[in-house]
A and B are shown apart, each in its own frame.
Chain A
Amino acid sequence: MKKSASFVIGMSLLLAVSTLTGCKSLKKNPAGVYGSDGLYGNGANGSLGMGDRFTGGTEHPGMFAPVYFDYDSAQVADSERSKIETVAQHLKQNDSVAVIIEGNCDERGSNEYNLTLGERRAQAVRAYLAGLGIGADRIQTKSYGEEKPVNPGHDEAAWAANRRGEFVLYY
């Protein structure tokens, strides 16, 4: 957390974060499972539990090209796979580097539903990375839903640019 926050209704707050940790044991995902049988391709997630959030490092966005998605889809298109493979290569060569995948949607649909759709997009990229042999404990997801468009327009081109998964390296 880089920024501190102020709170209009008064008190400065120490988030009394009863840090509610998620499940720590990650199910091992054998390399190639997702890549070979297309599990990621049919949109099935759910076997790769998330660990605790990363702490102690810094986010480094914009180092890799985003993965784009079709409308209402959380499937990684064939044409986008090489982008994920490039990131996997970098992670393999840099053991101490982790990655946060940010899932984003276009503005159509409800905000809350788009949060879950953005998360599914990020999880699909995560599963593909894991299938390429990157440890699931090195990959976190963050959905922004429709809250963080790169293109503020309201047309097909803007929507296509906004339906994306972005790679943010963490070290």
Chain B
Amino acid sequence: MKKLILFTLSIVISASFSQAQVRVVKSADRKITIDLSGLRTAGDSASQTFSQTLEKDLRLSGWFDPVRGGGELRLNGTAAPSGGELKAGGQVFRLNDQAMLFSKNYNGQPRAIAHRMADDIVEAVTGHKGFASMRIVLVGNRTGKKELYLCDGDGGGLRQLTGEGHIAIAPDWGPDGNTIIYTSYMRNFPDICRIDLNKSRREALASYGGLNTGSSISPDGKDLALILSKDGNPELYIKNIRSGKLTRLTNTPRAAEASPDWSPDGSRLVYASDQSGTGKPQLYIISREGGTPRRISSRGTENIAPDWGPNGLIACASRTGGHYAIAVIQPSSGQTSYLVSDGADYEDPSWAPDGRHIVAARSVNYQSSIYLLDTVSDRPVALLQGSGGWYSPACSPQ
């Protein structure tokens, strides 16, 4: 199957005298128009939900400009209820040579199969992964307490995950996409807990004296990176989940570590630490075997909440010009690019599985909501806002 265009994230460096400026650009920086008028859906609400979700997903993917009539591509398809589920499917044709780029049928819940179909179309046409089928775990306070919630990649399908009535914060996904780890005060002190989404089961993974937080599970699922203060000061540790064996990686009696995240190959960790002596946290990389950490953040007065993406790039919240902005750092060179600066604060970035988009918390006037950011071209899009504050989004691995 021939790909319509090739996509590369190329780092263009235009050095100015004061500071290196890095821009992330797309080599083919334009939208593909796709004609959706050939999608024939029944009039019921499930079919309507399907077509609306599919269209929004195609737009959010960053690749497509859905149109009615004309266009480079045409989607022909149908959607209709069938035995309590929705039956849908379609084909994508390239108009200039009538080549069929995609053809597939689906059965299931309308939103779920719309997400799958959108991802399949993105991959068939561009050769790149989409993110429509991902889930986002996040923190919300609409009950008056901070609890964990889940939603789909488009911000829809919101459902409450925990009902602890205490404080549930700092969620992240296990590499299998079926587990959530987070910090819970349900037993009065900050513990690291794990929820198995398939079995609706929760267990504590770390509940030492003092602080237990900042957890991140290694790509092979065997180890937990975490912040503990059990030895008298917050430090970075690795805990083997099966054996319980603890390895301490940092020793900073005058500083604190936070927010560890694993490199895609599991050999290293990025984390925030204020060991620079400035009282402001910066980002460091350390081998999972320990040793001397290497500072990688160079711009911004503070750099926090790193997320090491599947593309090898580290996103973080970087304080610059009195606000937090999302920055993307190349760990080998330290080259840094800033995504948007619109006067709002952007925090807690998380790479979507497509390696192109970032989900982050955006706050204005102390009201925090969840936004989708594009590292290539699109403007920020609100995924979830209102009904209290929304914080700390984390995208599922697939």
Chain B residues within an 8 Å CB radius of A63: none
**A16 CA to B203 CA in the complex, in Å?**
6
Contact, CB under 8 Å: A9 / B189: no
Contact, CB under 8 Å: A50 / B202: no
Quick check: is B160 within 8 A (CB to CB) of the other chain?
yes
Chain A residues within an 8 Å CB radius of B317: 110
Chain A interface helix/strand/loop/mixed: loop
How far is the CB of A86 from the nearest CB of chain B, in Å?
23
- Most chain A C-beta atoms within 10 Å of own C-beta, residue among B167, B197, B202: B202
Report which of B201, B207, B272, B366 forms a contact with A113, defined as CB distance below 8 A: B272
Quick check: is B88 within 8 A (CB to CB) of the other chain?
no
Chain B residues within an 8 Å CB radius of A20: 204-208, 244
Contact, CB under 8 Å: B304 / A109: yes
Contact A147:B169 (CB < 8 A) given known A6-B163, A113-B281 = yes
Count of inter-chain pairs, beta carbons less than 8 A = 182
**A115 CA to B272 CA in the complex, in Å?**
12
How far is the CB of B193 from the nearest CB of chain A, in Å?
8
B205, closest chain A residue (CB) = A20
Contact, CB under 8 Å: A9 / B256: no
Quick check: is B213 within 8 A (CB to CB) of the other chain?
yes
Quick check: is A52 within 8 A (CB to CB) of the other chain?
yes
Contact, CB under 8 Å: B234 / A116: yes
Quick check: is B280 within 8 A (CB to CB) of the other chain?
yes
B188, closest chain A residue (CB) = A1
Quick check: is B231 within 8 A (CB to CB) of the other chain?
yes
How far is the CB of B256 from the nearest CB of chain A, in Å?
4
Task: Say which one of A77-85, A89-97, A135-143 lies at the interface with B.
Answer: A135-143
Chain B residues within an 8 Å CB radius of A22: 208-210, 230
Chain A residues within an 8 Å CB radius of B197: 9
Quick check: is B355 within 8 A (CB to CB) of the other chain?
no
Mark interface residues in A22-62 (1 if CB within 8 Å of B CB, else 0). Answer: 11000000000000000000111111111111000001000
Contact A44:B253 (CB < 8 A) given known A13-B202, A18-B244, A113-B281 = yes
Contact, CB under 8 Å: B161 / A141: no
Interface residue ranges of A1-16 to B (CB < 8 Å): 1-3, 5-11, 13, 15-16
Contact, CB under 8 Å: B209 / A115: no
How far is the CB of A57 from the nearest CB of chain B, in Å?
12
Residue numbers of B with Cβ under 8 A of A are: 146, 160-167, 169-170, 183, 186-190, 195, 197, 200-211, 213-214, 227, 229-235, 244, 251, 253-254, 256-259, 272, 274, 279-281, 302, 304-305, 317, 347-348, 366, 391-392
